[in-house]
């Protein structure tokens, strides 16, 4: 499975993270790294998700940069030549996902340039980097999680301000309009992020509709089909130093084969 790894620079740590990290970064900039199959949707990022019971690390890439992701992802990256020298895994800090909530990060290429880190129940530690960038306009899981967080901010222990950005229309589809994911979630009468079976169905529909019938509403490739724009947005992000290729070794991808 070939993902695009998106680099979101940390702008301001949550108080819990700041206390833990202290002086351990050696002056490096930290980027949260999210694995995505849909680089063309990055214009519509509204927040970033982590699992509260997942353990993350901050790993040195070189003297200037460090990446925040799971240990498993850091090891894959090391062997894919992301770190210097190749194969190096240098963990500077270990940190629980719960401590990252409320951290403010840059959202590369997004219409909203800065977003907050929020909790999601269904983040898998065994897939991608364990960090998920949220695009509620086009991802049913993201839209439903954002909806849950807004309804029950106290329960999820978040400041409502962190979940305040509305879904941004970035792709239009003939069947579902400019907000494909919210429309599908409503049609399937999905109520919560716990409705995992219906969310899986919604995701399949949204993937197919977006890929085969979607048209870009924003960005450098506005007006082009998603099929044409997808590799171009990816390349553009890589050229800008805001993304890199990240492959998941075969045989351990948990939810989906395609």
Residues found near ligand ZZB in the complex (CB under 6 A): 35-38, 41, 122-124, 127-128, 130, 132-133, 135, 138-139, 203, 206-207, 255-256
Residue corresponding to tokens 């409502």: 160
Q: How far is the CB of 177 from ligand ZZB (least distance, A)?
A: 15
Q: Which is nearer to ligand ZZB, 84 or 195 (CB)?
A: 195
Q: Which is nearer to ligand ZZB, 78 or 181 (CB)?
A: 181
Q: Which is nearer to ligand ZZB, 154 or 189 (CB)?
A: 189
Q: How far is the CB of 48 from ligand ZZB (least distance, A)?
A: 10
Q: How far is the CB of 54 from ligand ZZB (least distance, A)?
A: 9
Q: How far is the CB of 153 from ligand ZZB (least distance, A)?
A: 22
Q: Which is nearer to ligand ZZB, 38 or 99 (CB)?
A: 38
Say how far apart CA 215 and CA 211 lie, in whole Å. 9
Q: How far is the CB of 26 from ligand ZZB (least distance, A)?
A: 28
Q: Which is nearer to ligand ZZB, 130 or 182 (CB)?
A: 130
Q: How far is the CB of 131 from ligand ZZB (least distance, A)?
A: 7
Are 111 and 43 contacting, i.e. CB atoms less than 8 angstroms apart?
yes
Q: Which is nearer to ligand ZZB, 8 or 41 (CB)?
A: 41
């Amino acid at each position: 499975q070939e993902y695009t790894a998106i680099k979101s620079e940390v702008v301001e740590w949550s108080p819990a993270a700041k206390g833990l990290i202290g002086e351990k970064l050696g002056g490096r900039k930290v980027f949260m790294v999210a694995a995505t199959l849909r680089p063309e949707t990055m214009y519509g990022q509204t927040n970033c998700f982590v699992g509260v019971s997942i353990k993350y690390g901050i790993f040195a890439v070189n003297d200037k940069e460090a990446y925040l992701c799971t240990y498993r992802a850091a090891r894959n990256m090391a062997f894919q030549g992301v770190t210097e020298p190749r194969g190096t895994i240098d963990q500077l800090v270990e940190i629980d996902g719960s401590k990252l909530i409320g951290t403010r990060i840059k959202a590369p290429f997004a219409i909203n340039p800065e977003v907050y880190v929020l909790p999601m129940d269904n983040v898998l530690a065994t897939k991608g980097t364990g960090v998920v960038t949220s695009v509620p306009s086009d991802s049913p899981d993201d839209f439903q999680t954002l909806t849950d967080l807004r309804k029950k901010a106290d329960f999820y222990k978040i400041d409502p301000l962190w979940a305040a950005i509305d879904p941004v229309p970035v792709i239009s589809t003939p069947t579902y309009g400019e907000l494909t994911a919210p429309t599908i979630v409503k049609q399937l009468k999905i109520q919560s992020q716990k409705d995992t079976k219906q969310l899986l169905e919604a995701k399949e529909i949204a993937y197919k509709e977006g890929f085969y019938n979607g048209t870009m509403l924003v960005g450098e490739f506005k007006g082009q089909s998603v099929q044409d724009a997808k590799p171009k947005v990816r390349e553009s992000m890589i050229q800008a130093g805001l993304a890199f290729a990240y492959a998941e070794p075969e045989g351990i991808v948990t939810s989906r084969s395609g």
